[in-house]
Amino acid sequence: MQETRHSFREALKQLEVQALGGLDLVITALDRALEAVSYQDVELAGMVVADDDLIDGRYLEVHQGILSLLALQTPVATDLRIVAALLHVIRCIERMGDQCVNIAKLVPLSGYESPKDKDILDAIERMGQLARSQLSQAKEAFASRNVGLAQDLVRQDTEINRLNREIFRRAVEIGDDVDTREWAMFMILVARCLERVGDNTVDIAEQVVFVVTGLFREFADASHPA
Amino acid sequence: MISRDTTSKEATDMSTAGGPSEQKDAKDEAPDTSAIGVREGEGHAIQVKGLKAFYGKQEAIRGVDIVFPPNEVTAIIGPSGCGKSTMVRCINRMHEEIPGAHAEGSVTLDDLDVYGAGVDVTSVRRLIGMVFQKPNPFPTMSIFDNVAAGLKLTGTKSENLRETVHRSLRAVGLWGEVKNRLNEPGMGLSGGQQQRLCIARTIAVEPEVILMDEPCSALDPVATLKVEELIDELKERYTIVIVTHNMQQAARVSNTTVFMLDGELVEHAPTQEIFTRPKDERTERYVTGKFG
């Protein structure tokens, strides 16, 4: 017996590299969006919005590549699961890119000299670090088919969710100053975007388990919380 | 013991109605086959236990246990020489026709021991029909006579013969294409039509099980799809076992799939599982083309 379908296997590998490379694009967009929030850098925020075309382009390339593989190579078994998972992963990447854009678009709206709250800013910064870490870990877990690493993302995401709730509570209690309250409302939206990024990395982690085991199981079910 | 008399009675009792739906009614009127262990009016399962098949001293099947469920399509896949064709040929005792070949173990159709002492081989092959890789209409016979060939052997009366031939041609979707040229040679049909003609010949004698050994490998894609659609219709009435090299065909037509390797059954599971998450690493490697 000898190994066959070399070109198909190579094409599938390339497609995976291309899709997971989309996570690097999201990390770059997230770093810039968070820096723009921290330093009120409207110009940098504009770059995040403009560069989202790169992520959208990557989505289209991978999507087309998946369609071609399905039509021309009819993958089955593990190969089919990888293709199906990549379709899901690239959709998550596109959505996370959009969340970075959402954060960036809030930068000019939140005011140039608005009063800020250190607790909220620290929590946003911490959420950003966690989201970034989860993006890297999701990529590594998928590339190495590491179920343990994938499941660990749920633990990290719990912390992001906790910080999201904390920012909401702090914003509610922030006081009567109109400008401060308005700024705090924008930060709630930023926190919500970061929470969504974290959630998407958990979705990718679920796909890792699907690729490895053939079984799909939600790690966390928002409609039926544990 | 299976007797030819039973077959003759069944043929003469056939309904004169036409079309696939009527064929089921005709089947309801079939004679009592329970005396020979084949249950009437329900699906018919094939059970294989400890099957070994030999060509001389060479062991081609190495002890296979499997049940082919009633009214389902079971596909057998595997690389060349894995024993899949040998296995189906053992089910209706065609394997023993090859000089020096023999089989051990048991094959039962319901309660009928196919290899039982005194069992009539011809009747076994009527109950368990076979469709081959290459369409093989009788070259000197007309379209009509090709379908009628098996019936004539069973002594079916001429008026029932005509109705049964028409009904069988309708059942395989060939009636509209050949009704005005029934007396023309069967060899004049296209490859796909010839294969459907052979399937009509197989079902004309009212089998319980149909074995198909790569039935589409000589057909073009359109003819292949027609045969596949036919298989889907036929499973309502028959238990079908199909050997195929085309894994996508196995995926399209079968309820369960068997993967064989080196004369052994590696995995038998619902087709969806075999092609999405096979349990055995050897199955995974075969269906994904990691070896071939």
Q: Is A8 within 8 Å of chain B by CB?
A: yes
Which residue does chain B place closest to A211, by CA atoms? B277
Q: What is the pLDDT of residues A12-22, one digit of tens each?
A: 999 999 999 99
Chains A, B: CB contacts within 8 A come to 44
Instruction: Tell whether A10 is within 8 A of chain B (Cβ).
Output: no
State whether B248 and A215 contact (CB < 8 Å): no
Q: Which range, of A210-219, B47-56, B87-96, B238-247, averages the lowest pLDDT?
A: A210-219
B292 in any annotated domain:
no
- E runs forming strands in A20-160: none
- Bridge partners of residue B46, in order along the sequence: B68, B109
Report ipTM for this prediction: 0.77
Residue at token pair 């894609």: B221
CATH number of the domain residue A193 falls in: 1.20.58.220
Residue A118 located in a structural domain = yes
Domain holding B184, by residue range, is 4-287
A145 and chain B in contact, CB less than 8 A: no
**Residue among B287, B288, B291 whose CB faces A1 most closely:** B291
Q: Higher pLDDT residue, A126 or B23?
A: A126
Tell whether the model's pLDDT for residue A214 goes beyond 80.
yes
Q: Is residue A224 part of a domain?
A: no
Nearby residues of A96 by Cβ (< 8 Å), 6 or more positions away: A26, A30, A135, A196, A197, A200, A201
Among B72, B77, B75, smallest CA distance to B259 is for: B77
Is B27's pLDDT higher than 90?
A: no
Half-sphere exposure of B36 (CA within 13 A, CB side): 24
Closest CA to B121 of B20, B285, B235, B7: B7
Q: Mean pLDDT across the stretch B91-101?
A: 95
Q: Give the confidence band of B28 by pLDDT, cuts at 50, 70, 90.
A: very low
Q: Angle at which helices A118-144 and A6-39 pack, to 10 degrees?
A: 170
Secondary structure class of B78 (helix, strand, coil): coil
Interface contact flag, B276 A77, Cβ < 8 Å:
yes
Q: Which of A153-167, A190-204, B13-27, B29-43 has the lowest mean pLDDT?
A: B13-27
Say what percent of chain B tops pLDDT 90: 70
Q: What is the pLDDT of residue B36?
A: 60
> Which residue of chain A is at minimal alpha-carbon distance from B284?
A77
Residue A117's domain comprises: 6-213
Neighbours of B237 (CB within 10 A): 19
Amino acid type, A223: S
CA–CA dist B167, A110 (Å, integer): 79
**Does residue A223 belong to any structural domain of this protein?**
no
pLDDT-derived band of residue B87, with 50, 70 and 90 as boundaries?
very high
The answer to the question of residue A72 being in a domain is yes
- Look at residue A222 and tell me if it is in a domain: no
Q: Is A13 left (phi over 0), alpha (psi -120 to 50) or beta?
A: alpha
Provide the pairing of β-strand B209-213 with B128-131.
Answer: parallel
List, in sequence order, the alpha helices (H) in B103-220: 121-127, 143-153, 158-171, 175-178, 191-204
**Interface residue A79 vs chain B (CB under 8 A):** yes
Q: What's chain B's length in residues?
A: 292
Model confidence band, residue A83 (pLDDT cutoffs 50, 70, 90): very high
Say whether B97 sits in a helix, a strand or coil: helix
- Let me know if residue B49 belongs to a domain: yes
Count of C-beta atoms within a 10 Å radius of residue B241: 27
**What's the number of domains chain B is made of?**
1
- Side by side, the strands of the sheet bearing B101-109 are B58-68, B46-55, B101-109, B112-113
The shortest C-alpha distance from A4 to chain B (Å) reads: 5
CATH of residue B193: 3.40.50.300
How far, in Å, CA of B274 to CA of B280, rounded?
A: 9
Q: Into how many domains does chain A fold?
A: 1
Global pTM? 0.81
The single residue listed with the structure tokens 């057909």 is B219
